[in-house]
């Protein structure tokens, strides 16, 4: 039995639903092909209600009471950190979908399924600025609004109490952008009006919202109430579907991605990816998900399940020490990540395969870097 929690309710539910659907699809396919070590796999998933405080208790329950053989991580970095502490106490391997706060993910048997490298606080802002500098008229000013959640705050500021570890705020300045506003806000914020007013008054060329879930939706709606729209908007970790509900207001929005299931991307990836994507989209439509495209969250979730299965099959057992050793010695072959090697010196993170996506014509498309883009990066006004 595999155990995990997911945010099936609360602020992260729109993203948690994607990970649940992918997990169910993966387990169904796994069992149709003989299961794991010749046995069918059962997945017990508990709702952590998007609440970090519940995660530790629930993973303790899964391991100590439900006596699951294996675990897989929850969604969102704070929840993953809480699950990781339990996994380390019990010596369980923890594949995890989405945590990027690499310096804090020190448990040697946690394995990331989505890597922005060991220094995402440098990688993300530099990649974004590289892309923006390629535009005919590069922006000159930037406002950075930051959810004080661990991973998003890390991207903006780097490590706490370490002036030598940069984040987006310092990197933007070093690369010639004038940071006209730096605005932190607490997790769970729902009153966006005052934040929107400060952004309007700063009037940046670029708004970088290092936020989660539906943060960007609330923020854009509040700016619309003020009849204000920044020329360029970047959202770090949004739930993929809700921004598209903004209609024209989302056009041109940028975010990070490891895969976007457009026709061009699926065709380039091959038949197996096409089958996975088609199955997911049919399941998502049947489940009533408002956004049915297989994208970066789904791809990261698929990778995590592959890491778990390849670790167990490579070890030939559910012995966690053997699984951990196998993965560190052999890496994994990931459908949406290619061949990866887990480097304990870099907390098992590998060089990033992440790009930037943009809303164009009502859908997310990959636009940067050029070698993985399926559409051209658009500046203000298209």
Q: 3-state SS string over the chain?
A: CEEEEECCCCCCHHHHHHHHHHHHHHHHHHHHCCCECCECCCEEEEECCCCHHHHHHHHHHHHHHCCCCEECCCCCHHHHHHHHHHHHHHCCCEEECCCCCHHHCCCCCEEECCCCCCCHHHHHHHHHHHHHHCCCCCCCEEEEEEECCHHHHHHHHCCCCCCCCCCHHHHHHHCCCEEEEEEEECCCCCCCHHHHHHHHHHCCCEEEEEEEECHHHHHHHHHHHCCCCCCEEEEEEECCCHHHHHHHHHCCCEEEECCCCCHHHHHHHCHHHHHHHHHHHHHHHHHCCCCCCCCHHHHHHHHHHHHHHHHHHHHCCCCHHHHHHHHHHHCEEECCCEEECCCHHHCCCCCCCCEEEEEECCEEEEEECCCCCCCCCCCCCC
Within the chain, all domains assigned CATH 3.40.50.2300 are found at 2-114+265-346, 122-257+355-368
Q: Check if the beta carbon of residue 256 is closer than 8 Å to that of residue 116.
A: yes
pLDDT in tens, 326-336: 999 999 999 99
CATH of domain 2-114+265-346: 3.40.50.2300
> Where residue 134 falls among pLDDT bands split at 50, 70, 90?
very high
257 φ, ψ (degrees, to nearest 5): -160, 150
Was domain 122-257+355-368 assigned CATH 3.30.465.10?
no
pLDDT in tens, 303-334: 999 999 999 999 999 999 999 999 999 999 99
Q: Considering the chain, what percentage of its residues have pLDDT values greater than 90?
A: 85
Give me the pLDDT at residue 348, please: 96
pLDDT in tens, 102-126: 889 999 999 999 998 889 999 999 9
CA angle, residues 95, 155, 341, in degrees to nearest 5? 35
> Where residue 161 falls among pLDDT bands split at 50, 70, 90?
low
Which two three-digit tokens encode residue 255? 């975010």
Residue 164 has pLDDT above 70, yes or no: no
């Amino acid at each position: 039995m595999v155990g995990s929690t997911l945010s099936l309710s609360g602020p992260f539910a729109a993203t948690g639903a994607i990970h649940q659907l992918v997990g169910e699809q993966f387990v169904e396919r796994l069992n149709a092909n003989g299961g794991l070590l010749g046995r069918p796999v059962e997945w017990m998933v508990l709702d952590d209600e998007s609440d970090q405080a519940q995660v530790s208790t629930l993973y303790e329950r899964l391991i100590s009471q439900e006596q699951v053989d294996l675990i897989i991580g929850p969604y969102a970095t704070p929840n993953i950190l809480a699950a990781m502490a339990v996994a380390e106490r019990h010596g369980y391997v923890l594949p995890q979908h989405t945590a990027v706060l690499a310096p804090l993910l020190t448990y040697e048997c946690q394995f990331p399924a989505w890597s922005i490298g060991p220094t995402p606080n440098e990688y993300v802002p530099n990649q974004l600025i590289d892309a923006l500098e390629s535009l005919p008229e590069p922006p000159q000013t930037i406002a950075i609004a930051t959810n004080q959640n661990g991973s998003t705050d890390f991207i903006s500021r780097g490590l706490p109490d370490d002036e030598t570890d940069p984040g987006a705020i310092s990197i933007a300045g070093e690369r010639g952008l004038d940071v006209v506003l730096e605005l932190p806000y607490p997790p769970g914020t729902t009153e966006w009006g005052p934040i929107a007013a400060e952004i309007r008054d700063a009037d940046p060329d670029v708004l970088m919202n290092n936020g989660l879930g539906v943060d960007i939706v609330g923020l854009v709606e509040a700016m619309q109430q003020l009849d204000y729209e920044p020329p360029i908007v970047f959202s770090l970790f949004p739930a993929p579907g809700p921004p598209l509900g903004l209609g024209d207001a989302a056009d041109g929005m940028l975010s990070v991605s490891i895969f976007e299931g457009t026709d061009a991307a699926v065709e380039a990836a091959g038949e197996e990816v096409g089958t996975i994507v088609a199955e997911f989209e049919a399941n998502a439509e049947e489940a009533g998900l408002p956004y049915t495209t297989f994208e970066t969250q789904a791809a990261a979730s698929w990778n995590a399940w592959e890491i778990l299965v390849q670790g167990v099959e490579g070890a030939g057992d559910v012995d966690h020490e053997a699984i951990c050793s196998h993965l560190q010695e052999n890496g994994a072959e990931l459908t949406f990540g290619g061949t990866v090697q887990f480097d304990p010196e870099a907390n098992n993170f590998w060089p990033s395969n992440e790009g930037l996506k943009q809303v164009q014509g009502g859908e997310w498309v990959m636009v940067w870097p050029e070698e993985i883009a399926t559409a051209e990066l658009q500046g203000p006004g298209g």
